[in-house]
A and B are shown apart, each in its own frame.
Chain A
Amino acid sequence: SLPRKHTAAACGTARNAAMTSTLKPYVEAVRATIEASMCLENFASQNVERHNKPEVEVRSSEEVLLTPMHISRNAKERVLVEGSINSMRISIGIKQADEVEVILCHKFVRFLMQRAEHFVILRRKPVEGYDVSFLITNFHTEQMYKHKLVDFVIQFMEDIDKEISEMKLTLNARARICAEEFLKQFS
C-alpha cells in the first residue's frame, strides 16, 4: 500500500503540537473581552427618527463607538471585538495552516453564513480581513442570556477548528483510498 503520511495521528498532533500552550489563555482572553463588550442598551438612531440601527455597523457618529480590541494568538489566529452603545461585532480569523485548510475553511464558513438567520447572531459577510463575524445587538441580549451568548461564541470558535481538522482527515483518507484503487490496475 501507499506510505501513510497523513494518518490521523500525524495530522492531529501536527496541528496541535506547537500551540496548545497558548490555547487556554487565548480562549480566556477572548471570553473576558466579549463579556466586557456585551454591555448593550437600546439606542435610537440620532440621524433618522423612529429608526433603531446597530451603531457598530452604521458608524454614524464617533460618540457611540468604543475602541476596537484585538486578541491574537499569532498572526493568523485572531479575534477583533468592536463595541458600541447598542451593538457589538466579533470577527474571528481562523487558523488555516495550509492551502487545503484555506479551501475547507472558506467553504465551511460560507455554508454557515448562507444560513445566518438560523444562527441569529451570525453576520452574512465577514468583516474585511477575517473569516467569520458575529453581530450582537441589545435586542439579542434582551432575549437571550449574556453568559450563554458568550459560551456560544467560544464554543463556535473551538468547534470550527475541530470540524476543519476532521474534514481534512476525511479528505486525505478518501484521497488515499481513491489513489490506491486507481493504482491497483497498474500493479
Chain B
Amino acid sequence: MSKSTLSTAHRKVDVDLYDADRFVDDVLEEEAGDNASAVSSKETEVRGMLNKGDNKGALVRALKDAPLRAKDQSVKDKAHKVVMDVLMAFKATDIKGAVDALSQSDVDTLMKYIYRGMAQPDDGNSAQLLQWHQKVVAAGGVGSIIRVMTERHTV
C-alpha cells in the first residue's frame, strides 16, 4: 500500500469553501464619503455648526455622505460619534422639526445611526435616541426600519 492512503488530511478540508454556488458578498468600491479625510472634514464642519447653534444644519451635514462602504472600521466609528454628538445636542421639542426637514434617504441613514447608537447603551444616549426613533418612525414609517435591516452596507 502506498503511504498516501494512510493520510486522513482529506477529512480536514472544508468542502463548503469550494462550492460553486457559495454566496460571496459583493465587494464594492469605496465612494467619496468613505475615506478618513472626508470624515475629518465633516467632523470639523459639524462642530462649527453646533457651536454656532445651527443644529438642523449640523444634522443634515452629518448625515450627508455617510461612510457606508468604508473598509476601515475607525472611519465609521468616527462618523458615528459625530452623528451621536449632533443627536444629543437637540432639545426634545426640536426633534420633530429637524426630522421633517430631512429627505427620505437622510431619514434612512438617520435610522441606521439610531440603531447603531442603541447597540451601545453604555454611552447613556438611549433615552434621547428613543425620542429620535419615535419621531423618525412617524416620518419614515416602518419602511425606514426595514431598509435598516436589509441593507448590507451598515453604518
Q: Which residues of A approach B to under 8 Å, CB–CB? A: 21-22, 25-26, 28-29, 32-33, 35-37, 39, 61-63, 66-67, 69-75, 78, 83
Contacts and interface: CB of A to CB of B under 8 A. Distances in A.
A25 B132 CA distance: 9
Interface in B96-155: 115, 118-119, 121-122, 126-127, 130-131, 133-134, 137, 142, 145-146, 148-152, 154
Contact of A72 (B121, B137, B145, B151): B121
Interface of B: 22-23, 25, 115, 118-119, 121-122, 126-127, 130-131, 133-134, 137, 142, 145-146, 148-152, 154
B19 to A, nearest CB: 9
A36 B133 contact: no
Contact of A32 (B119, B122, B137): B137
B interface secondary structure, majority: helix
A70 B121 CA distance: 9
Contacts of A37: 149
B127 A21 contact: yes
22 contacts: A22-B126, A22-B127, A22-B130, A25-B130, A25-B134, A32-B133, A32-B137, A32-B142, A36-B146, A36-B149, A61-B22, A63-B23, A69-B145, A69-B148, A71-B115, A71-B133, A72-B119, A72-B121, A72-B126, A73-B127, A75-B121, A83-B149
